[in-house]
Structure 1
Amino acid sequence: MFTPHSIFSNFQWKHYRKKKLITSTILPPRKIVTIQLPNRGNAFQITSSIITNEHTAEIASWIDKKEVTYDVNNNPYEFNLILRGSRDGFGTDVFWNLCNQKTNLVVVVKVKDTDEILGGYNPIGWNSNLNNYFKTKDSFIFSLKNGSIKNHILSRVKNASFAIYSYLRHNGPNFGGTDFYMYRTNNFYTNKINGYEKLIRTTTGEFLADDYETETKLDHEKYDKKVYNGTYEQLKNIAGHSLSEGSKGFGKSTHDSAVARRQVKVKMHNNNDA
């Protein structure tokens, strides 16, 4: 007589001993379980106190001239805060000190005592040394949905030759000369159509801001390629300061390396090193 040691031998035993019960555990049929994987998008913690991730996804879609708004988890851009009025000051000199000749700028203004959020995108930047209009077809001004404001307004360039205006250091950010601009401390204006399709407020003239911000657009794909392929020493040289030991594993999903990669991307953007 032999003792069964497996399901197979157990069945053999059953074959020879017809009345012998099968003692092996028979498992039920396997079930196919579908696992929902997490989104592999580029969600990030926004640094703005005025706009949300939903707003940035909408602005990013306008930058790329998309008909459908990007999902917040697949936004190809990150907006890095450069200036916040309540933190850095509302004077035009602050704007020029922090934003002069920087490109791909997003300006957002929270209008005082309303739900209005107005703004504009300038891909070519402003120059404090010049008093002139600058040509681009890719800038735009806007009003965002927020609270009681149920619909956005997007106003693209109508006359590219008057899209962006630099008035030495007398004005802050200026779109179209008169369409949307900052004049002196905390004073903003929407006066008349000049460079853009339509006004972004129902009323014209001066208005005050609760706060305003200027942010620069970082392209994830453009900078990630360099950041992930660069060696620790190369990236440390770009960043211009010592990086933590944890950041040596730039391809790893660690907090230190993520912070270090972001620091390097910002530095590369500011140096136009891409």
Structure 2
Amino acid sequence: MKKTKKRLSFLCPNCRKLISHSESECPSCGLKNPGSIWNNNIFIRGTDTNDTILKVIVATNIAMFVLSLVIDLKHTGFSSSPLNFLSPSNNSLLILGSTGTIPIFQLNRWWSLLSANYLHGSLLHLVFNMIAIYQIGPLLIREYGVSKMFIIYTLSGIGGFFISSVFGVRFTIGASAALCGLIGAALYYGKSRGGTYGNAIYNQIGGWALGIFLFGFMVPGINNWGHGGGMLVGALSGYLLGYRERSQEKIGHKLSSLACIVFTGIILFWSLTNGILYLVM
């Protein structure tokens, strides 16, 4: 029987660089015991450098949008205007977890700070935000890592909506606050890194940020406080977590990201339960 040779090299589970099997520490990113079962566990490792996490975010948003239409189908907007085509009713969005001063401070629905990030007011609203995720998400994954990216995304959504609620926004929904958090983290990265590459990132993303605020002031109903708050929380999170060139993803980052995933799953399950109960009552 032919003996199987032991692998002499493998990919580091953190930075994906080829290293020797005998290494006790990755020479590229400093990960301790890169060959251990713990570091190679898929739940701790995350989704590496691929876009799986982005696909999950998009799929979740689409699923929640479909549910929001089905819950109150008779009041769903079928307007010929592209801005309002396939618009869930306000009642449906409130049941699933829209946020703002009324849901938070009057109804004590603090969980809506997270659920509202996965709800949208129209098909066009959903499409624009999902396209934006695929534009900005890969940059954050590359420069911060998957775990830090999702932490920034989650905290920015919660923080942005909380700030907008403090400043009096009665009802609000959408992934925009979380997306603006990714933009804020990218702005911090570009400014902090500097050089030709960093300045290019800063200038390009800065143009996006300016466009978002101009659009928000020109079009009624846009939650500018949520956008600005999300951007602020994202920049602060980027500073505290550190991008890859300064701070590689550690086990604490991966566990924090896993906690964000679990917490999001629990909140969305609660939102789904509310929707189902409304349908059967």
Whether TM-score is above 0.5 comes out as no
- Relative contact order, higher structure (CA 8 A, sep 6+): 2
More strand by share: 1
TM-score (norm 2): 0.25
Larger radius of gyration: 1
More helix by share: 2
